Amino acid sequence: MSPLTPQKRTRLSPAPTGSLKKARYMKNGSDSDDSGSPTVSTDTTSGHMQGHRRKQRPASLTPRKSLDGLYQFGKLQIATPSSSRFAQHSPGIQASHAALEIEEALGMEQGSSEADEADEKEVFNAMNAHPESDADVQSENEVERDVTEAIREYIYPPPLYRFKHTMVDGEAYGPEQAVMEGETLDEEEHASDKPVRVLDKFIFYLDTSRQLCGLGEVYPKIDEDDLGDTESENGDTPEASLIYLGPIVDAYQGDANPYTNALIWVETELAWYILAAPHPLYREAYKPFLIAHTFTLILSRLVKNEPLATPEQFYGIIQDPHGIYNAILRNAGENLDYKLGLVDFWSNIGGVRMACANIGSQTFVSAPLISQLLGQLQPSKPRAPPSKEKLSFISQDAGIQNSVTPLIYQIANKHFLRPLACLGRPLADCLDYQTTSKLAGDLVQTHADAPCHVIISSADSVEGPDGNPAYTCIQINGVRYQRGDIVLVMPGKDHQTKRQHQAQDKSAKSQNDLGNVFWFAEIIYFFKNKKGIVFHAHWLLHSSKSFLHETGDPQELFLINECSNSSVESIVCHVQVDFMGHGEQPEPCFDPSIFFCRFLYQSEKGAFLDVAPHRARNLPFQAADCYPCLLEAEQHLLGIPRLLDKQAILYKGVTYHLQECAFIKPDSPGPYILGQIQSIAKTKDKLRIQATILHRHGSDSRQFYDDRKLCITATSIQCSAERLCGKFYAISQPTTSNKLEHWLELPNHFWIASPELDPQVNSFRPCLECLEHELDVSNKKIRLIQQNPLKALDLFSGCGGLDKTKIITTKWSIENNPHAVKTLRKNMPKDHIVISDDINTVLAQVIQQSLGSYDDPSLPGLDEVDVIYGGPPCQSFSQANGFKKDDDPRHSLSLTALSFVDLYRPSYVILENVRGMVDYHLVNADGEMMKMGVPKLWLRCLTAMDYQVHLSVLEAGAYGTPQCRARLIVIAARRGCSLPSFPLPTHAFPRQPRPIHTPDGASIASPSSMFAPLPPITVKMAIGDLPHFHWNESGTRDFFSPVFTAELGWGYQIAYKSHAQTRYQASLRNPIEKVQQHFTKIYSSLVSKRVVHIPMTPGACWKDLPKNLWDRNWKMKPLRSSTYKRVIEDQYFPTSVCKVDPTSRFGQVLHPNQRRVISLREYARAQGFPDTFIFWTTDSGRTIDELFKQVGNAVPIPLGFALGQTVMFAMVSDHIFI
């Protein structure tokens, strides 16, 4: 054997498909669930459960019969290239580590001797040699299908770097590990199942024994499916480890995405590594290989797609900055820190010829393009595919183009790297904005040259806001200007300095130069002062200067709640602005100087509201009627408590009477103080109240904590009226539990025990007038729900989450994951229609059905949907994903969702996603980056469809979810309907989401949850009633009690540990008496041993383990504090991800007081799922992983309920259906 040939390990046969694994979960006397759920074998000494482990590695490399748009995988030949071909002798590395003492140990000099060259050539030829056999000779039929069906590309061998000088600190690099932070290998894991990692800043070299080795920064490869639709509060990129790689056993080239990149993999004895970018010292040596590989990749794609392609076409696509092939060059160039172009093709033509020959296809090398560019090539004989299971990553998103309607396509397509598919004829742009630059310049010049002659008549005067004369119209240079006219104004100094700064950004430049050069104002009135004649202006903002920036319509203006005085000399001319009525769309116009306006823009709220109620011309005609001025005065008055009479206070729009119950802000963050107002007094400069305190009833005879049950105390509080934070209503205990639960659905509703249980109840006298009004509103809500519940379409529904509000009935769900589909069908009502298909396919079917060319009764009619809601997959945006891709097709899936809105035009739309979407920047085919790209496009598309819309980040814990989970929420309503406000926090939650810093310089704060009506739901309040059990491990069983062993099956039921201890528990248990799916996943014996030895102290983690259970590398590179960490029972769960793994950076998954990780049922309760909701999977493989993934992907139920409630409040305010 040649000394350069890598030693290959013996591979064992893979486990048979369908093999069963051990399980740990709760003790049960019954057999497996006979309802079709997968059966799992058991171990009588275990206490947690698992189906097949999801292999943390790529799938099989076996060549496919058909490409189906996927790029095939082939052998990456590793060999030492001839020094005549690679003449790089750059400075290298001579570190203290023995593995790097290469050239000195081998006695090498700067150049290669002929003997060395001959030896390297011999090894290279040996590695490419193929035994001649009949099987190696391609038949004519095989040749015909080479390119179109089964190409295996043989990649040009990478150069090996020769080390001479100390340029890298070898002592900083540690040995390769079988398991690193963030990886878990199960006990039954097969020897051939290696972890997959990312190798960055790499260098390859020959060690002293002339084996190919490497070093670099290593990250664990995070499976995005395990992240799910979530964002971690520890959402940064995994930390790198500096590692020496052992001898390279094998290498392959495989696809991450056939449009932009083909990954290169190397294998060692311990793991697989995906190559990222080379070390700067290695970059020049790696450059020829990667260039040859990249151009060969492009040529193979082009020949496959266009067998008769010509060299001219090849030159064209290489130079096309918008093309898919250019994206391949750009991605390769990013790894080399170098811009690739056509010149690199010619300068590396030799490498390209060799790489193309190594593809091994006569059809490919004889294609016209290849023969004309590269001459006659003799293809290498392809090696047979590996007989053992090899590793590859076949991207499920390969070739995907998300489908959209023409309107969405027109708005969004140019902003994505991967093009969208337009279902219909694309809309044409009818305006030529090149003329606006000259028009703007001419107007500026004319304004500068013309004198300002002003004529003002006392006949047009009215009384101004200060009592002095004001004027409704004037003449400037013979042109009449009057109240209500919209004018162009020469810009001055914007008092919003951040907005003025952002307006100079490239992204704020519009195609329409009129929007870049001028300001827009509505004239309210004119008046005289010391500076001359001025006008009071109500300002309008060009769409490019709003949140929308570069996505804004060049012809659209937004009214804003800002006004100021400006000299009439700043007026340039009139401008036509059409104010659109409800449902009206701007007509196609060929004049770029004609604008339209539909919305009032509130930058501090990220809101676009119906403009109609906010214009001065809608007010009674008086000179002083400026809407922003009136609004400012009103807000000032609302912020000061006012005494209406001796028995009432008006504060922030709320009237408080004597005997009324009110929330009182405490001195420190937490739940409101609950009080009943007994007296009102006016001091010198403030109003003060005295209130009797009502305590939350801590417990009753059953130790049941009910945060809605109140008891009257003899304690009172005196405080300023400025501490009043809203009203609540309390009633005596109703006669039936149903009526009580109905009453308690709102967070400001409480109840007081009956007089028999609490004699002081007789002393409670509420304000009957206010209570009767609240009961009347509640009855209206009940009638609203009973008469016309809204019919909803749920997109990307997963296993539900946004459909728990009684006002909204989800009639249709679209979901493509078969496991989630089964879960939906098992848990939803019989009339709930689950459409199991790709959302792009369903969109096309809806369009076809609307045209009469398709008929599917399961699809909703275009007039049937009242609400559309959904959360598109978020892994591509989540901060938990440290390896995002610019061309990820999931970036644009939300645009497909908006295409459903475009078709159905429902009354309300709710979209949700991770907070990280706000911080993600889109990159288009030109390489241009758009900050906050997806939120901009959401708002732009919704406003284009005539929807009012606003966005915010809501913390799920502030609405009764026992976990920290910040979500980006967008709520929209058709103009003409009230826009639902964001729900006020119901629970005082200690974590506040980060504000959104908008493109136009504003800051959108989330609703504050530091003070709220109810205390937060803690871990103990959520799961304290579930049965206890510990894991048992060999040698430790006798120390822990109780220890439960596993029984056959996983769909069994087991009795609760106790009665419900909190209202949260009771709401999830009712009406069942036994709990299901209270089991955990199985881990390796070492991981399990570490888990059970974590001390039973709040927040204990890996640092608290006995030192004999530490990994040898932990001292050198400590783990994150969240690894092997216990959940704290008096606090909240961390953000749910889709994989419960104690060894990962999301490893705070240990039960607070039991020696195990949290169970599936406990995980479900952290999301608010009732115990009656059972999770299902369609196969026996990856059973547990799929179940946890469904839970982690869901929208927290309490948050969904709060969003549904705010829709109901909006409907009540509109008096719909009543």
8 Å CB contact between 127 and 78: yes
Q: How far apart are CA 1177 and CA 1160, in angstroms?
A: 13
Q: How far apart are CA 1032 and CA 571, in angstroms?
A: 82
Phi then psi for 990, rounded to 5 degrees? Answer: -75, -20
Measured N-to-C along each axis, helices 283-305 and 324-336 cross at an angle, to the nearest 10 degrees, of 170
Q: How far apart are CA 321 and CA 1064, in angstroms?
A: 56
8 Å CB contact between 603 and 560: yes
- Return the amino acid letter for 86: F
8 Å CB contact between 963 and 1134: yes
Q: How far apart are CA 48 and CA 1033, in angstroms?
A: 11
Burial of 1005 (0-12, 13-18, 19+ CB in 10 A): middle
Provide the pairing of β-strand 1079-1080 with 556-567: unpaired
Rg (CA), the chain: 35
Catalytic (active site) residue 573: no
Provide the pairing of β-strand 729-732 with 749-752: parallel
Three-state secondary structure along 698-729? CCCCCCCECCCEEEEEEEEEEEEHHHEEEECE
Burial of 108 (0-12, 13-18, 19+ CB in 10 A): middle
Q: How far apart are CA 461 and CA 703, in angstroms?
A: 74
Q: How far apart are CA 1119 and CA 1143, in angstroms?
A: 9
Token pair 């001195």 is found at: 667
CA nearest to 952, candidates 974, 979, 929: 979
Phi then psi for 414, rounded to 5 degrees? Answer: -70, -10
SS3 label, residue 379 = coil
SS3 label, residue 731 = strand
Interacting residues of 1217 by C-beta distance below 8 A, sequence separation 6+: 783, 784, 787, 788, 1211
Q: How far apart are CA 1140 and CA 1137, in angstroms?
A: 7
DSSP string for 475-536: EETTEEEETT-EEEE-----S-HHHHHHTTSGGG--SSHHHHH-EEEEEEEEEEETTEEEEE
- Return the amino acid letter for 1054: I
Token pair 């010619």 is found at: 346
The CA angle 902-231-816, to the nearest 5 degrees, is 50
- The length of the chain, given as a count of residues: 1218
Q: Which of 213, 874, 964, 977 is catalytic?
A: 874
DSSP string for 427-489: PPP---THHHHHHHHHHHHHHHHS---EE--GGGEEE-TTSSEEESEEEETTEEEETT-EEEE
β-partners of residue 597 are 557, 579
Burial of 364 (0-12, 13-18, 19+ CB in 10 A): buried
Q: How far apart are CA 904 and CA 897, in angstroms?
A: 11
- Return the amino acid letter for 346: W
Written as six digits, the tokens of 427 are 């809309």
Q: How far apart are CA 407 and CA 986, in angstroms?
A: 39
Active site residues: 874
